[in-house]
Amino acid sequence: MFVSKNLNVNSEGHLTIGGIDTVALAKEYGTPLYVMDENLVRCHCKSFKESIDKFYGGNGLVCYASKAFACKEMYRIVADEGLGVDVVSSGELYTAMAAGTDPKKICFHGNNKTIDEINMALDYGVGRIIADNIYEMKTLDSLCRESGRTADILLRIKPGVDAHTHNFIRTGQIDSKFGFALETGEAFDAVKFALECKNLNFIGLHCHIGSQILDTQGFEAAAEVMLTFIKKIRDELGTEVRDLNLGGGFGIQYTEQDDPLPYEEFMKAVSIVIHEFCEKNNIPLPFILIEPGRSIAAPAGITLYTVGCKKIIPNIRTYVSIDGGMCDNPRYIMYQAAYDAVVANKASEPKNTTVTIAGKCCESGDLIGENMPLQECEPGDIIAVCATGAYNYSMSSNYNRLQKPAVVFIKDGKSRLAVKRETLEDLIRNDL
């Protein structure tokens, strides 16, 4: 009935998340409100970790891609599950460190890391820096030299794999701002360059083929391409590549139309490719890293809104306006992303209408979705949008000077505030 397995309906006909009444949560904490189910986050962490254990004998590390959803509490939870994290900015790195993350388990990404960010990563002792370009390697090498340090690096490679996903979030192809291309020889030259840098320790390769990918073929193809490159490096440069980081991108169910795979299927399929290739070519099994973001955070979260005005435009459409919108969920305006919504206080009623859920920003495209099946609703009702745990809070903005919602975590029947709702005072804090 619901896209996420933690959602249900109680005897009052209210939507529950992890057994907690969402209408009561809306009342207690106000709306808009992000709600994250800690048990489900932990369950997702475990299933990726177990797939590394099962298919690689534990010879790997799951690094949660924290761009999906980042706050101190989330970093604490994933660390407690034994995961590392992928960070892409000083802000994510700082938050991860403030939450007590082991720096050795951090992968630091980014196509244009600033000097300050690189220095920060070195000062914290970040375990892996994923180098994106030659300029970055030169900068990193010289900053290391000046301070008498060395840095372990992986090179980001574009494997040239088409992941059949939304064009904006496809990053493995040659026309991408991320990483080094294989076809042109750029990637091979980059490895040679890395090996020449005295303060850089070249330990591995990274690729990320896209996001919200619902089948395994792209990952299998990327693994094959990366291993072929690892073999070339061994054969032609005499260097063994220790780490192979295959990125994230594992798809989830947003609506009934999506048919995602159980998470372990991804690693299972890829492990067959890796084991066969390594055996055939006498290559030691690399240490495998994966970086799931959406798949860990998205299904664990919902957003609660209060319905305001309803505008029925005869023969055209019905707009149901909520007290949030593109500021807390920009994924419809950016990608026409589809979501499932339910009127939380009427969750046992049938979805008799089809509506457009509109946000409150001064922007016609500020919608959560169009043609969404929904229960009949009135001002004051609570709407829950499902599977919003990833790329909602982390992509939220203060457009129109709206205040960012609070984030509440729930666990075992209890709720707790993890991020306070922004106040009007917060909005002018940096204004002079």
Catalytic residue annotation: 362
Q: State in angstroms the smallest separation of the CB of 156 from ligand LLP.
A: 7
**Residue appearing with tokens 């996903």:** 165
Asked if 244 and 286 touch (Cβ cutoff 8 Å), the reply is: yes
Instruction: Report the nearest approach of ligand LLP to the CB of residue 37 (Å).
Output: 18
Residue 193 belongs to what H/E stretch?
helix 186-196
| Distance in Å, CB of 193 to ligand LLP, minimum | 21
Q: Which residue, 63 or 383, has its beta carbon nearer to ligand LLP?
A: 63
Nearer Cβ to ligand LLP (65/79): 65
Q: How far is the CB of 110 from ligand LLP (least distance, A)?
A: 9
In the complex, the smallest distance separating the C-beta of residue 158 from ligand LLP, rounded to whole angstroms, is 12
Half-sphere exposure of 197 (CA within 13 A, CB side): 29
In the bound complex, what is the minimum distance in angstroms from residue 294's beta carbon to ligand LLP?
4
| Residues in touch with ligand LLP (CB under 6 A) | 65, 67-68, 86, 109, 169, 208, 211-212, 247-250, 291-295, 331, 335, 391
Q: Which helix (H) or strand (E) holds 235?
A: helix 217-237
Decide whether 329 or 345 has the Cβ nearer to ligand LLP.
Answer: 329
Q: Which residues of 159-170 are buried (b: 16+ CB within 10 A; e: fewer)?
A: bbbebebeeebb
Nearer to ligand LLP, 132 or 381 (CB): 132
- What are all long-range contacts of 421-424, with beta carbons under 8 Å and residues at least 24 apart? 421/29, 421/30, 422/398
Mutual angle of helices 186-196 and 134-147, in 10-degree steps: 10
Question: What is the rounded distance in angstroms from the CA atom of residue 141 to the CA atom of residue 134?
Answer: 10
The answer to whether the Cα torsion of 166, 171, 173, 176 is positive or negative is: positive
Transcribe 141-173 into DSSP letters.
Answer: HHHHHHHT--EEEEEEEE------S-GGG--SS
Compare residues 14 and 331 and give the one whose CB is closer to ligand LLP. 331
Q: In a 3-state reduction of DSSP, which class is residue 92?
A: helix
Query: Do 305 and 402 contact (CB within 8 A), yes or no?
Result: no
Question: Which residue, 17 or 213, has its beta carbon nearer to ligand LLP?
Answer: 213
